[in-house]
Structure 1
Amino acid sequence: MEFLVTTFGKPYTLQTNLYIRGSGDGKIIGREMKFHLWFDPTTDFHHYIILWSPKEIVFLVHDVPIRRYPRKSDATFPLRPMWVNGSIWDASSWTTEDGN
């Protein structure tokens, strides 16, 4: 899950990412999906959950499913262990309307 830079006055965007067999080469259908949050994530603590079962991966925000990724085949479902990677970086030119 990634928070993208927001344009003042617009909803915050949360992006979910999936990597299959360590690949992030863009050939994976549905690898990245963006969602506009219905609240300001900077004002309080919030719950973000990833449920990973053999049948599907579900991303939730405050117990509300925002994305379901069903297992259709081994070729399109992550099989390696999951980990969390945290970072802060400025990518404002592609996360907003050209940095505005």
Structure 2
Amino acid sequence: MELTINAAGDEQALTEFYSWLRDDAGVTRSATISLAGSRSTGEMGVFEVICMSIGSLTGLANLGIAWSNFLRSRKETPPFTITVEGELTAEQRAMLRNLDLPLSW
């Protein structure tokens, strides 16, 4: 399953969440994570989205835990939207419905 995490222009929150995910051993063990979407050529370090590839229900659960922990570390909820791409199994859909993620189908 492919996920794209958008921060509605809040680059700082996106970068902080990316670092949070990269520091979480459970997430990195079960998902591939990268930054993408440089706004303009030659402008290094400017990203618009986090891309994740998760292949298991455990990976989804780890993302949910990381998201909850990240939210607890902040005063305000960042304006994130997580877009789910690709076909999902019934189990994946059920897991996503149970997680408190800002999803966009």
Fold match (TM-score > 0.5): no
> RCO greater where, 1 or 2, for CA within 8 Å and sep 6 or more?
2
TM-score by length of structure 2 reads 0.28
Structure having the higher strand fraction is 1
Structure having the higher helix fraction is 2
Quick check: which has more Rg, 1 or 2? 1
TM-score by length of structure 1 reads 0.28
